[in-house]
Amino acid sequence: IDEILELAKYEKALEGVRNIKKIDDYRKLLEDYIRKNCPEHEKQKEYLRDKLNKEKDIIDPRETNTNSVTSFDPNAIYGPSGTGTNQYVNNRNRHPFLVTFENADTASADAQIVRIVDTLDKTKFDLRTLELGNVTVGTKTFLVPKGRREFVMEKSLLPERNINVRINASLDTTKGIITWLFTSIDAVSKDIPALAGFLPPNIGKPNGEGSVSYTIQPVANLADGSALQSRAAIFFDDNTPIITNTWKNIVDAQTPLSKVTAIVSQDTLIRLKVTGTDGGSGTGYYHVYVSIENGEWQSLGGSEVDTMLVAGERGKTYRFYAVAQDKVGNLETKTPIAEATASIKQGSNPPVQPPVTPVDSLPIKAYPSPTTGSITVKVSLPVAEQAVISIYSITGSKVADVYSGIINGNISIPLNLSHLSNGLYYIRVRTVSGVQWVEKVVVAK
């Protein structure tokens, strides 16, 4: 009966997966499954929700994983890949570490007991933020619940090996020492076997390999130029310990500096040039802001390049300032004051590139504006015609095509722009005959 009920539970979950039509359906299904079947992970639900939301949102294109490893030594430690030869990191983010170990293919016996010791510098690492990560043995990965600074688990290595492995992990907060202890356990007697061990000689890779992991944050406000170092010792049974390499990162805590200049070119185009300096990891990203006719500052988005083109309107004046961000995420602190000003003269020539200049009495309306996300786009054409409706940023970059088809009279399209960054956008309608109209909309969340 219990097996039938268990099967029914998974059939119900599978049916839920079949009914998924959008990402929010997946989120709701995942939360419901955790609540019913994994109550011990209920506290992690917010974390999972944030991670899922992040996947469906537009994010800073700089954002990447902090750990990038392409090859492994058999007994070694790996940390944040960092930036440049000094492997610069900031002093705020959580940093990942991985310790790998191997029973060499030349070993004469299985490893029965393996102990890994990693000593952290308490003056550099905040031990309160330590989170032990997943563990691997051979082809198996054992998950560790989020937020653990210690754990005990016993896992079977079937079908590869008829033996269990008991893993004890803990942090000595007085000394800053993390210890993982792997012990071979006979699946029947529950004692340490006479000869067999959980980690065989690594003849058939990766059966003789394993790893442990953790993440930790530096001490708050750690000084610029500080060295973050970690090294581990790996003990195989009663043998002399193997000392790993030392992983070293340098803290970049300096904020970069920047300034923007603006030149009107090609009639209504404004060419922006940003110059930036940084004494550590280097300037890697620029956020640019604009004020139109002395109005409120609006974001133009960000760019990894130092040059941007902005499509302006005739008879209007634009003010700009820039904020630099270095390659480890340090953001320049700056008062919103104009660093550059550009005025576009009145004239009769049309703009040279989309988005085109909005005019009164257009057959397109987008409301409400400003919006926190949801808008309605209404288009009215006197005759039926094939058309494309697109969204453009103020820099002239296309964000998305939202409609392509025949518009016969009136059409009303609901849109959700909540995934876009705050700022000014253009909704453009372009017909196959080459006629185009543009309406402005401001996203302000």
pLDDT one-digit tens code per residue, 325-361:
999 999 999 999 999 999 988 764 444 344 443 333 4
Same-domain check for residues 235 and 264: no
Whether 67 is in a domain gets the answer: no
Same-domain check for residues 89 and 231: yes
Residue 109: CATH number of its domain: 2.60.40.740
Whether 289 is in a domain gets the answer: yes
Please report, in angstroms and rounded to a whole number, the separation of the first and last CA atoms in the chain.
53
Mean pLDDT of the chain, nearest integer: 82
Last residue of a domain, one of 188, 220, 251: 251
Give 206-236 pLDDT, tens digit per residue: 999 999 999 999 999 899 999 999 999 999 9
Q: What are phi and psi of 43, to 5 degrees?
A: -70, -20
Last residue of a domain, one of 251, 274, 293: 251
The sign one gets for the Cα dihedral 62, 64, 70, 73 is: positive
User: Which of 181, 183, 179 minimizes the C-alpha distance to 196?
Assistant: 183
Whether 335 is in a domain gets the answer: yes
Same-domain check for residues 106 and 194: yes
Distance of alpha carbon 356 from alpha carbon 17, whole angstroms? 44
Structural domains counted in the chain: 4
The pLDDT assigned to 376 comes to 87
Same-domain check for residues 153 and 282: no
Whether 304 is in a domain gets the answer: yes
Give 390-429 pLDDT, tens digit per residue: 888 877 777 777 788 888 878 888 877 766 788 888 888 8
Overall average pLDDT of the 185-191 stretch: 92
**109 vs 12, more confident:** 109
Distance of alpha carbon 161 from alpha carbon 156, whole angstroms? 8
Residue 328: CATH number of its domain: 2.60.40.10
Confidence category of residue 171, pLDDT binned at 50, 70, 90: very high
Give 299-318 pLDDT, tens digit per residue: 887 778 788 777 777 788 99
For 300-321, b/e burial (b = at least 16 CB within 10 A) is: bbbbeebebebbbbeeeebbbb
Find the domain containing 422 and state its range: 364-443
Whether 351 is in a domain gets the answer: no
Same-domain check for residues 226 and 333: no
Q: Is the pLDDT of residue 108 over 80?
A: yes
Same-domain check for residues 130 and 247: yes
Whether 350 is in a domain gets the answer: no
Q: Give 17: exposed, middle or buried? Use CB within 10 Å, 0-12, 13-18, 19+.
A: exposed
User: Which of 64, 52, 1 minimizes the C-alpha distance to 304?
Assistant: 64
Same-domain check for residues 315 and 409: no
Overall average pLDDT of the 120-125 stretch: 96
Whether 354 is in a domain gets the answer: no
Helices (H), 72-206: none
Last residue of a domain, one of 343, 372, 403: 343
Beta carbons of 395 and 309 less than 8 angstroms apart: yes
Whether 294 is in a domain gets the answer: yes
pTM as predicted? 0.62
Residue 413: CATH number of its domain: 2.60.40.1930
Distance of alpha carbon 321 from alpha carbon 290, whole angstroms? 7
Same-domain check for residues 247 and 268: no
Same-domain check for residues 262 and 247: no
Confidence category of residue 35, pLDDT binned at 50, 70, 90: low
Same-domain check for residues 134 and 232: yes
Overall average pLDDT of the 374-399 stretch: 83
Pairing relationship of beta strands 247-251 and 88-89 according to DSSP bridges: parallel
Same-domain check for residues 197 and 262: no
Same-domain check for residues 11 and 120: no
The pLDDT assigned to 194 comes to 87
